[in-house]
Structure 1
Amino acid sequence: MRKLANSELDRKNIDEFKQAEKTPIIIVMDDIRSLHNIGSVFRTSDAFLIDKIYLCGITATPPNKEIHKTALGATDTVTWEYVQSISEVIEKLKQNNVFVYAVEQVENSIMLNDFQIEKNKKYALIFGNEVKGVSQEAIEKCDGVIEIPQLGTKHSLNISVSAGIVVWDLFRKLTTL
Structure 2
Amino acid sequence: MDEQPAPDLPEGVTWIERPDDPRVRDYLHLTDVALRRVLEPAEGLYLAESDKVIGRALAAGHRMRSLLLTPRWVEDLAHLVAPAVAAGTPVHVASPAVVQEMTGFHLHRGAIAAMHRPRMPSLDEVLAGAGRVAVLEDVVDHTNVGAVFRSAAALGVDAVLVTPRCADPLYRRSVRVSMGTVFQVPWTRVEPWPGGVATLQGAGFTVAALALTDDAVTLDRLAADAPERLALVLGTEGDGLSRRTVEDADVVVRIPMGGGVDSLNVAAASAVAFWALRPEGAPPDP
1:8 paired residue number: none
1:89 paired residue number: 196
Question: What is the DSSP-based 3-state SS (H/G/I as helix, E as strand, rest coil) of the residue aligned with 1:27?
Answer: strand
- Whether 1:33 aligns to 2:144 is no
- Whether 1:158 aligns to 2:260 is no
Q: Offset at 1:57?
A: 3.4
Counterpart code for 1:117 = D
Which one of 137, 140, 145 corresponds to residue 244 of structure 2? 137
* Equivalent pair of 1:29/1:53 in contact (CA under 8 Å): yes
The 2-side partners of 1:77 and 1:54 are apart by 14
* Equivalent pair of 2:209/2:252 in contact (CA under 8 Å): yes
Which range moves more in the overlay, 110-119 or 40-49? 110-119
Q: Offset at 1:95?
A: 0.5
Greater radius of gyration (CA): 2
Following superposition, which runs of at least 4 residues in structure 1 exceed 3 angstroms of deviation? none
Question: What is the DSSP-based 3-state SS (H/G/I as helix, E as strand, rest coil) of the residue aligned with 2:176?
Answer: helix
Which one of 135, 141, 153 corresponds to residue 46 of structure 1? 153
2:234 paired residue number: 127
Counterpart code for 1:72 = M
Q: Offset at 1:74?
A: 0.9
| Shift in CA distance, 131/117, structure 1 to aligned 2, threshold 3 Å | same
* Equivalent pair of 2:130/2:159 in contact (CA under 8 Å): no
Which range moves more in the overlay, 88-97 or 160-169? 88-97
Q: 5+ residue gaps in structure 1?
A: 1-12, 16-21
Superposition map of 1:100-115 within 5 A: 100-115=207-222
Counterpart code for 1:125 = L
Counterpart code for 2:157 = I
Residues 85-133 of structure 1: CA deviation (Å, up to 9, x unaligned) = 33232111101110000011101110112223346x1000000011100
Question: What is the DSSP-based 3-state SS (H/G/I as helix, E as strand, rest coil) of the residue aligned with 1:50?
Answer: coil
- Whether 1:175 aligns to 2:280 is yes
Question: What is the DSSP-based 3-state SS (H/G/I as helix, E as strand, rest coil) of the residue aligned with 1:45?
Answer: helix
- Whether 1:65 aligns to 2:204 is no
Counterpart code for 1:163 = S
* Equivalent pair of 1:23/1:49 in contact (CA under 8 Å): no
CA RMSD, 1 decimal: 1.9
Query: Between Structure 1 and Structure 2, how many residues are aligned?
Result: 155
Which range moves more in the overlay, 144-153 or 79-88? 79-88
Q: Offset at 1:14?
A: 4.9
Q: Give TM-score, length-normalised by structure 1.
A: 0.81
The 1-side partners of 2:130 and 2:253 are apart by 19
Counterpart code for 2:271 = G
* Equivalent pair of 1:28/1:126 in contact (CA under 8 Å): yes
2:69 paired residue number: none
Q: Give TM-score, length-normalised by structure 2.
A: 0.51
Q: 5+ residue gaps in structure 2?
A: 1-58, 62-128, 282-286
